[in-house]
Amino acid sequence: MNDVTTDLRRILTECRTIAVVGLSAKENRPSHGVARYLQQHGYRIVPVNPRFESVLGERCYARLADIPHPVDMVDVFRRPEEVLPVAQEAVAIGARCLWQQLGIANLEADRVARAAGLDAVMDRCIKIEHARLFGAP
């Protein structure tokens, strides 16, 4: 197993509460499918989207700072140019990992997260990686 695989396996094992920034209530959106998959595999999902009151049966928060409990990972479904403030908020709330979804790679946000001691993943789908590493359907 290479270092990246080892890191991803550790992150997905240790980070059980995941704030999903940009989570949509629309079932056809990738963020919805990924979050539903994670819920089905035992993760606690915390939706972050000011446009909705709840998603997937969970209360939705306008921003990370509004979440009243600890979050292990911040999973980002936003345009790359919108990720830096999310990374800064992830650091401020004490998250352990910043995960930029497939197609999202903000290098400055990655540097901010890593400089603060967070694990950081870019341009990877958490659902695909979980299924690959843990053999889940």
Write the pLDDT tens digit of every residue in 86-113: 999 999 999 999 999 999 999 999 999 9
Looking from the CA of 93 toward its CB, the CA atoms found within 13 Å total 22
C-alpha of 111 from chain center: 17
Supply the range of the domain harboring residue 52: 3-134
Count up the domains in the chain and report the number: 1
Instruction: pLDDT band for 1, please (50, 70, 90 cuts).
Output: low
pTM for the full predicted model: 0.95
Supply the pLDDT for residue 112.
Answer: 98
Selection from 127, 122, 113 nearest residue 4 by Cα? 122
Q: pLDDT, tens digit, for every residue of 61-70? A: 999 999 999 9
Instruction: Output the domain CATH number for residue 106.
Output: 3.40.50.720
